[in-house]
């Protein structure tokens, strides 16, 4: 695996640095909400408050929604606890809210949870669990998760080292404008045969055709 050979190749050292740059804690909030008019109004009030820096109001509006099981509010509380906005920073609580939202299929929460397990923030570090959540988000088309999943395959973290899979996921993320994933893909290509690169490109095209199902 690459991580076992850092002292042998400048390319691999550069590659390790790139992977570290790929793993960025997600901070973006959802701006759309699906539900009843009353819930939507409460959610939007929280969003407007958050955008203006009134975190106390955002917490007050989103907490009841989150406790009622609304994934977007749950994700947003996770962000606020992770960043310490309006409350003391608490990664463990952030992880709890992310998990609730991720289990409902919220793609940003899945990515966030993957990051937490990847880095061991708020939870015990676990490569396999990180891969699980990255994969779920990647198969919903989330570019950040696709790029990070590609890095996991490149390093053999939580999965068997597989440059074809690494290139494939990096290619999918790069196609959405993810520049770090593009550099990841380029670096992996230097460790692959032309046949492997073509296979990865073909797999990436099939993924898009199938809307990421069975990728």
Of 95 and 16, the structure prediction assigns the larger pLDDT to: 95
Tell me, what CATH number does 35's domain have? Answer: 1.25.40
Indicate whether 1 belongs to any domain: yes
Same domain, 158 and 133: yes
Same domain, 21 and 41: no
Same domain, 130 and 69: no
Same domain, 145 and 70: no
Same domain, 53 and 94: yes
Same domain, 188 and 210: yes
198 vs 125: CA distance, rounded Å: 34
Q: Which residues does 194 contact at the CB level (< 8 Å), separation at least 6?
A: none
Indicate whether 16 belongs to any domain: yes
Percent of the chain past pLDDT 90, that is, above it, reads 77
Residues 73-84: tens digit of each pLDDT: 999 999 999 999
Indicate whether 112 belongs to any domain: no
pLDDT > 70? residue 38: no
For the entire predicted model, the pTM comes to 0.84
Q: Which domain holds residue 42?
A: 31-105
In contact, 144 and 24? CB cutoff 8 Å: yes
pLDDT > 80? residue 72: yes
Same domain, 18 and 55: no
Same domain, 2 and 45: no
pLDDT > 70? residue 24: no
In contact, 165 and 150? CB cutoff 8 Å: yes
Residues 126-184: tens digit of each pLDDT: 999 999 999 999 999 999 999 999 999 999 999 999 999 999 999 999 999 998 899 99
Using pLDDT thresholds of 50, 70 and 90, give the confidence band for residue 68: very high
Domain C-terminal end among 49, 72, 105: 105
Domain count for the chain, please give it. 2
């Amino acid at each position: 695996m690459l991580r076992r050979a850092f002292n042998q190749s400048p390319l691999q050292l550069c590659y390790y640095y790139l992977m570290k740059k790929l793993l960025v804690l997600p901070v973006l909030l959802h701006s759309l909400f699906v539900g009843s008019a009353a819930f939507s109004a409460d959610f939007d009030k929280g969003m407007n408050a958050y955008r203006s820096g009134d975190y106390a109001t955002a917490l007050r509006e989103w907490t009841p929604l989150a406790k009622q099981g609304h994934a977007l509010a749950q994700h947003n509380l996770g962000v606020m606890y992770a960043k310490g906005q309006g409350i003391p920073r608490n990664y463990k609580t952030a992880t709890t809210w992310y998990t609730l939202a991720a289990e409902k299929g919220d793609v940003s929460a899945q990515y966030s949870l993957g990051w937490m397990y990847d880095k061991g923030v708020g939870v015990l570090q676990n490569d396999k669990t990180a891969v699980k959540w990255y994969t779920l988000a990647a198969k919903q088309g989330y570019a950040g998760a696709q790029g990070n999943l590609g890095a996991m395959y490149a390093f053999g973290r939580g999965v068997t080292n597989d440059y074809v899979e690494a290139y494939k996921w990096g290619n999918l993320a790069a196609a959405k404008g993810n520049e770090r994933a593009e550099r990841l893909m380029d670096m992996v290509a230097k460790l692959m045969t032309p046949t492997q690169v073509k296979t990865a490109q073909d797999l990436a095209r099939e993924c898009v055709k199938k809307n990421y199902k069975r990728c």
